[in-house]
Structure 1
């Protein structure tokens, strides 16, 4: 039997969390055709993977690349980490369906820029994505914040019943056209005034489609427990699965609170459908005027429209140079984004160690000085936290970024090295894999990622993108 490609003599890490085993993996066209001892099989091309691991391509459940799939279709920051599938539309903000006129409120403007393309329906967005595929597979949540901007006349109040019906109809249509779930972000201004009732009614629509309610909760700092309880209440009332995005406990006053939040989540899992993901960093990143600079021990200016020369500088240094306080410096720098050191390392490790936690980057491709998570998240987990710190085995680390995520979001035939599944594959060196992106030099590909294949086509090899665009639209 002849196949297209055989990866020979690999340590096979199949995505289930089970122990690695020595063997070969064969692919033909876009599918995995055999796994095991394939000494009797011939490949059109064969790669010797002695000393290397072959695993399912990593799945990032939380990114903001709705627009970047068109503007940065090679997805270099994504594929260089071994990621083959991304889920967009998070934190309540999706590029489709977007019908509101400019100027868009923040953070939509930050995410999608000035003169963002408009898609009257989610179906239109998917049609363009199929016509102009990126290097990776892409699914997309439907953002409640986007629907709010489209339908609610005054974002400073809860939606009235007419507006709620309009948002529900729009969500129902978008989910029917392939949206893989609902995302909310009551932390952010466009949705901050939304009531629990409003969010619950939107979750009911997601439940009718058997899709998840995915949320950047109302608070991740002083009121994180209250926000968590609201999220769980929404899930119970709507009979809908809930998923907590980038779980964290922000601010010095909340260091250690993850012991309580994880206990609440663990108890809730016994009675309702709950999931979560997190990032392996003690700093977060969002719009500069989010208020997080008051909780942070350090703030780096990531981007500033009026002062691009300050990207990468500490906010405190900019404020001192200008002779103003931090609040005034923030106002001068707007529109801007920042990197906020607001988490405790012990909380990060505790949340990572929790057996149900998936790995996400919360990344946005592009920018001159992004958070290092954009280029380094997945290698950091496997290199630093699995291999060096020993939080869990390498096999368990791979499970948390493959099968666990695929099952949670209903991504069929992905996330496992299994015959018949799509050939999303990463080849990496377990001994050397680590992130090279840092807070000072964030735009750097990881070490130890040898090659990456999406649907059987190489998208990263020999330290560079291939410029192939084999990604599928996932619905």
Structure 2
């Protein structure tokens, strides 16, 4: 007869044996001493990180590592915290983060405590997404390590940044010499600890690359056991072609490939997640290693040039300004922007484009294009909105929030077994910018709204999608799981109280429900209060080679 033992029960048994036996035969019970620990979380509801229901148990920590999991019995501890009735889980890993900022008073350098993330249970962020990263990576790693931050920080190496460095902003293929230089930059990034190659094929200059160029560079990342993660060329009308291209790049280059912040944009395509996920399933069936990440909102956020056609961006900003100054080219550009307002991120209404950050005029932050037009005394029309967009970009550009998705697709993508959840946000603090709520609420919204309240997925599955799943995707063998030997990045949440407070109208509000958060065994959040501790580290790929150079 075969007896099946639940993994959580097995973990408890193993942990108890480890506590009892250690590395040597157990001493006589009359002379044995209680195990010694630095910190014990007592009596919590333990979500291991695996896609399994929780179990009741204790977590023992020594230094920066988990020492034991389960019913610990007798022990001595420097500190013990009763977490009865609370959910204990691995700290969340945000696999799509923009924690860095060009502004020294923003991002991880502006707010190294990362309170907006800690208060959701996030302990690790992975930067370098959408094809944009520091090149090379090491100086940024050293600067962040010198802070240090409260959270762990890792990165991909960005194809777009490498292309800009080697080829520039022109719409042309690289020469063979340039392609070799790009390969060398990918290799250097991987040797400095990048987790893979990211691309932003909807952004200039990444959009000027053909598929073969990206395959060549992805092959290099694969040689270092890295992955390929892509903001695809299109998430609107050409969504399915873009999904197919992302799959092809992984298949041809021979490495894991990921559709990042997978979404369906624009009314003509709503519901197409069924088709995009079918393409993913078919690829998996033929042996391609495909995965997905998603942020749980029906609005996206990026800069206004997402509504501009690629031809207008050839040559960079100065070339774009020259085109906007030419009447015939401006007319062509206006028509293309109107089209994108209608069928893509404009959601067929200028009111769906909300300005989030306009450095040249902060009074515009939080206003949609219709409101700005009315303020200027203009008629609200798509043509006038297109003209306004060109003027805003010429004045310095703005970030914006685009309301152009529906819940049906969010639910479909979230339910897919290869989907993990990530913020596509960053480290934020109070400011005048009308940032996307995902910066403050992604993980609380996932667990509180979608899993607990709507039951789109079970709570333990939601936790799996932000812990073990991204850890395994990044080949992090000692994070994302509650088991002896793992790094003690741990979140303790009151599941019944978890909720996002952030809104589009008032985004700078921290989420509720996190009680304790530990990074490398050190309490960063204790009984709901930030401790000021900043034990975050640089996390690097398993194929990191820079130290040996």
Question: TM-score with structure 1 length normalisation?
Answer: 0.92
In the alignment, which residue of structure 2 is the partner of 1:427? 492
SS across alignment from 1:265: helix
Q: What residue ranges of structure 2 are gaps of 5+ in the alignment?
A: 1-34, 102-106, 308-339, 379-383, 541-549
Q: CA deviation at 1:125?
A: 2.5
Superposed, which structure 2 residues align to 1:144-293 within 5 Å?
Answer: 144-270=159-285, 271-291=287-307, 293=341
**Alignment match of 1:456 (pick from 506, 521, 528):** 521
Q: CA RMSD in A?
A: 1.4
Q: Where does structure 1 differ by over 4 angstroms across 4 or more consecutive aligned residues? A: none
Residue 362 of structure 1: aligned partner: 424
1:154 Cα deviation after fit: 4.5
Partner of 2:333 in structure 1? none
**Residue from 356, 363, 388 that aligns with 1:329:** 388
Cα distance in structure 2, aligned partners of 1:290 and 1:464: 39
Check the 8 A contact 1:307/1:333 in 2, yes or no.
no
Instruction: Determine the C-alpha separation between the residues in 1 that align with 2:37 and 2:341.
Output: 55
Partner of 1:397: 462
- 1:111 aligns with none
Partner of 1:310: 364
SS at the partner of 1:317?
helix
Deviations 1:214-259 (A, max 9, x none): 1000111100101111111111111121111000110011100000
Q: Which residue of 2 aligns with 1:344?
A: 406
TM-score by length of 2: 0.80
1:374-395 superposed Cα distances (whole Å, 9 cap, x missing partner): 0000011111111111112111
SS of 1:374's equivalent in the other structure is: helix
Larger radius of gyration: 2
1:36 aligns with 2:48: no
Contact 1:305-1:333 within 8 A present in 2 as well:
no
**Structure 1 counterpart of 2:118:** 79
CA contact (8 A) 1:285 1:339 kept: yes
* Structure (1/2) with the larger helix percentage: 2
Aligned to 1:129: 144
**CA deviation vs aligned residue, 1:231-290 (integer Å, no higher than 9, x gap):** 111111111211110001100111000000001101111221111100100000000231
Report if aligned partners of 1:382, 1:394 keep a CA contact under 8 Å in 2: yes
Cα pair 1:186 1:194 within 8 Å, conserved: yes
| Equivalent residue, structure 2, for 1:406 | 471
SS where residue 404 of structure 1 aligns? Answer: helix
Query: In structure 2, how many angstroms separate the alpha carbons of the residues matched to 1:446 and 1:153?
Result: 41
Deviates more, 1:372-381 or 1:266-275: 266-275
1:89 corresponds to = 128
Residues 126 and 155 of structure 2 are in contact (CA less than 8 Å); yes or no, is this contact kept in structure 1?
A: yes
**Contact 1:6/1:42, CA 8 A, preserved across alignment:** no
Q: Distance in 2 between matches of 1:464 and 1:253?
A: 46
How far residue 424 of structure 1 moved from its aligned partner, in angstroms, is: 0.4
Distance in 2 between residues matched to 1:180 and 1:129, nearest whole Å: 17
